[in-house]
Structure 1
Amino acid sequence: MLTKYKPLVIICLRNAIICWGLSFCFFNVVAQEFTFSGNRQKQSLKFRSIKNLIVIPVFINGKGPFDFVLDTGVGPMIITEPTVIDSLDFSMLRKIKISGLGVETIDAYVSQNISAQIGQAKINNIPTAILKEDLFNLSGHLGIKIYGIIGYSFFNSFIVDVRYAENRIIFADPLKKIKYRGTRIPIEIEHLKPYVYADVEAPGGKKVRSRFLMDTGASHALSMEMLNGGAFPQPVKKIPANLGMSLSGQIKGFLGRINKISFDGYTFKDVVAGFPDFETIAHKIDLSDRNGNLGAELLRKFDVQFNYQESFIYVKPNINYKAPFEHDMTGMTIYLDQSEYKHVIIGEIDENSPAEKAGLCPYDEIIGVNFKPVNFYSFNDLSELFRAKAGRAIIFEIYRDKKTFFKIVKLEKRI
């Protein structure tokens, strides 16, 4: 079934999702592929893992490198920072509409005259959506400058081995003989994205065969969205949470745990999952082709070899496999503002959360954590610290209304 609106990107921040939609029917996608020059057939490339997301260097039109998110959840490449393209004349580009989960739409621009390079692999005329401004605010939420998102064109050109435990990808020509590792699992490529089936133990103990979008661009483990045309059943123990934002505001929902999810011999218990408000997302996203979204918090427990052309993956457990699933225990989001001085700002705060109980407020600036300057930490460090251990106290040095003071947040496991 052709989907009218598909999620353009789902970025999970603090086990939350930021959802955007794009109608891909505006793209007349040409079967362009990345190719190696000369006799090269394989390359290894290090990546940065930030909040479970894969950040790789990409050259655009011979310039760069620029940091992009490598995301199985997107089709055409997305440029979120148009300054990477010199002398860009928006008046000469075709305009499309991007629709979020609210009523607003914004303009984006389409080009198929852009080249990209990852390592020694190049592609010409890659289908691209260009935003006039960074509406995703990926840079703010990841703490480094992000220039765009790339997905299908890369994964469809190679056999891509994502080694989460090593922060490394190995990509090889599909014609090269590859040694696969682990367990083979079939996937389905639909609308330029990979889907996988898994058995989920829903609240009440019922086992549900579920179809998931595999999304390396989602930091969460699971987002449970739909079952039998309605909302996926929610667990009894849950907490209200801001699960992300659309173009017109916050997406409300709950955080809870799925008792069990299993696929091809691998079983995970007590998996943290988001349950977005069904009425909100169903108005803008056709959920009939999936039950939810399987993100990088779960995928990172494996080294994953993607073969889009033959529709399968191989998964092999790595050192992350037995790590428990935890959620942020402060109950707040943080972001890096885009001013010259890059202040770390508190965003949303969940009701009755440890952050709220400690007296923290949205728009507070964090200038220190545990008596160290905040710039001592990466955003990845802070993310790990905020979900480290229930009962642990974190001391925040806060700047508000031209005054500096300290607040103590005691981490709390709420689900």
Structure 2
Amino acid sequence: MLFCAALVLHFSFGFTQDFHLPGKQQKQSLTFRNIKNLIVIPVMVNGKGPYNFVLDTGVGPMIITDPSIIDSLNFSKLRKIVVSGLGVETVEAFISQNIHVQVGRARADYMPTAILKEDFFNLSGHLGIKIYGLIGYNFFNSFIVDVKYSQNRIIFSVFDAKVKYKGSRMPIDIENQKPYIIAQIELKEGETVPARLLMDTGASHAISMEMLNGSAFPIPEKRIKANLGMSLSGQIKGYVGRLKHLSLGRYEFKDVVSGFPDFETISEKIDLKFRNGNLGGELMRKFDIQFNYREKFIYLKPNSFSKVPFEHDMIGMVVYLDQNEFKRVMIGEIDENSPAEKAGLCPNDEILGVNFKSIELYSLNELTDMFKSKSDRSLIFEIYRDQKIIYKIVRLEKRI
């Protein structure tokens, strides 16, 4: 799912605000939660919290998705901006330069922040815990940030600290407060092309290929129609297929599951001259990554996830928590001709249980892993629909 990659903010601030560690402290370690390949960290806002934020290299200024955490906020005194996603709608948001933020012991005052009037993304529902916002460039630009996916931990160090780099060094570019990296993609036997990819820790997929030479990136012959993620106006449509071969420096991957979003839709919302695609958490989590924005390089060190094969979900549906109580597990979009559609599951069905086990005993992470666990595995769903309880048997299918 393309959670945060679907966001375009049409505004700019006159300055950026750095974080600082107190006194002579040079580094800190912080545990994070990895949910659907997204990094969730605790953040203090205006001295209150901690609140769950997604640590997202794909955003510039900080974004607050739940305005309730800001006391006495007078929207009439804030400058209005336009926020658009990869759909047809635009929505209102407001900007503030009077937000004080703390991550661990690191503090930034007067943080440039975009505040959405409503949580249009329903990130909380899709991740299964309450999410209050996204934080990106200002944090990464303030430190050398070591994201240890293998340990669910980040270590951030000031730039004059003695940092031991591990792994293989690769250059990155920083454009519009976002990092880009070059990968080599095999189109067909013997033909590879360099692809400039946005490194996006706020996207849960492995990779999304969008453009090549000014038009849609070639889609593999073997592909399926799929809902690729969320935008402000709903699901992003496109295809899912596999890239035969991808390399990042000296690290190579085969049969990489890739999304291919509808080119006409995204080209209206994103300036694709800066990139060919989007590199997400499913692939990045195979490394422990050290980011150095100021000197424009990263270090990649393969970890225990590096040999885990890429798999697409074998059920073909989105599940999320209802946005009111975050307790009821609901079915969202269903892929055409998917196992979920064949079994008769429908959007807006409520899932009460799976395999005779109450849905309350599953996390959304566990359901996601289950849905891509094994082809031909049968799952029994207890469904609440139209004030009736029904049962549906779904047989998982490796579709690509």
Where do 5+ consecutive residues of structure 1 fail to align? 1-10
Look up the match of 2:331.
346
Number of the residue aligned with 2:28? 43
Aligned to 2:108: 123
Is the CA contact (8 Å cut-off) linking 2:38 and 2:203 kept in structure 1? Answer: yes
The corresponding residue for 2:7 is 20
Give distance in 1, aligned partners of 2:18 and 2:149: 25
Q: Is 1:371 equivalent to 2:356 in the alignment?
A: yes
Distance 2:245 2:330 in 1: 36
Native 8 Å contact 2:5 2:58 kept in 1: no
Q: What's the TM-score once normalised by structure 2's chain length?
A: 0.98
SS in 2 for 1:384: helix
**Matched residues in 1 for 2:226 and 2:131: separation?**
26
Is the contact between residue 390 and residue 413 of structure 1 (CA under 8 Å) also seen in structure 2? yes
How many Å apart are 1:369 and its aligned residue?
1.2
Cα deviation 1:304-342 (Å, max 9, x = unaligned): 000001000001000000000001110000110022362
Instruction: Say if 2:239 is the partner of 1:254.
Output: yes
Note the 1:172-183 alignment, pairs <5 A: 172-183=157-168
* Distance (whole Å) between structure 2 residues aligned to residue 94 and residue 205 of structure 1: 53
CA shift in 2, pair 1:391/1:138, >3 Å: same
Q: Does 1:192 align with 2:177?
A: yes
Q: In the TM superposition, what are the counterparts of 1:235-314 in structure 2 within 5 Å?
A: 235-314=220-299
CA displacement, residues 331-365 of structure 1 (integer Å, 9 cap, x when unaligned): 00011002236210000001110001111100000
Runs of 4+ in 1 over 4 A off after TM superposition: none
Q: Determine whether 1:98 maps to 2:88.
A: no
Change (3 A) 1:143 1:186: same
CA distance in 2, matches of 1:117, 1:170: 15
Amino acid at match of 2:343: A
Tell me how far 1:248 sits from its aligned partner.
3.2
Alpha carbons 1:203, 1:233 under 8 Å: kept: no
Structure 2 unmatched ranges of 5 or more: none
Structural mapping, 1:313-324, within 5 Å = 313-324=298-309
The match for 2:72 is: 87
Shift of 1:29: 3.6
- Provide the C-alpha distance between the structure 2 equivalents of 1:408 and 1:238, rounded to a whole number of angstroms: 25
Q: Deviations over 1:18-76 (max 9, x none)?
A: 612212xx322423210011221111110000000000000000000000000000000
Q: Any residues of structure 2 matched to 1:147-158 within 5 Å, and which?
A: 147-158=132-143
SS in 1 for 2:7: strand
C-alpha displacement of 1:204: 5.7
Contact 2:16 / 2:112 at 8 angstroms: preserved in 1? no
Between the two proteins, the alignment pairs up a number of residues equal to 400
Change (3 A) 1:44 1:407: same
Show the counterpart of 1:213.
198
The amino acid of 1:371's aligned partner reads F
Residue of structure 1 in register with 2:214 after alignment: 229
Shift, 1:203, TM fit: 4.2
Q: State how far apart, in whole Å, the 1-side matches of 2:14 and 2:36 are.
A: 31
Q: Which amino acid aligns with 1:255?
A: V
Q: Secondary structure at the match of 1:409?
A: strand
More displaced, 334-343 or 317-326? Answer: 334-343
Q: Retained in 2: the 8 A contact 1:390–1:411?
A: yes
Whether the 8 Å CA contact 1:329–1:411 is kept in 2: the answer is yes
Cross-structure match for 2:371: 386
| 1:166 alignment partner in structure 2 | 151
Q: Is 1:203–1:234's contact at 8 Å kept on the other side of the alignment?
A: no
Name which of 321, 327, 332 aligns with 2:317: 332
Deviation at 1:251, TM superposition (A): 2.1
Counterpart Cα distance in 2 of 1:84 and 1:114: 11
Secondary structure at the aligned position of 1:202 is classed as strand
What whole-Å deviation, never above 9, does each CA across 1:106-165 have from its counterpart, x for those lacking one?
Answer: 110000110100000000111100001101110011011000000000000000000001
Q: Which amino acid aligns with 2:2?
A: C
RMSD: 1.3
Identity across the alignment (%): 66
Find the residue that maps to 2:272 and give its secondary structure: coil
Quick one: which of 371, 375, 385 aligns to 1:400? 385
Taking structure 1 as the reference length, the TM-score comes to 0.94
SS in 2 for 1:112: strand
1:12 positional shift: 3.0
| Contact 2:87-2:236 within 8 A present in 1 as well | no
Q: 1:351-386: CA deviations, max 9, x gaps?
A: 110001111100000011111111111111111111
Q: How far 1:247 moved relative to its partner?
A: 3.0
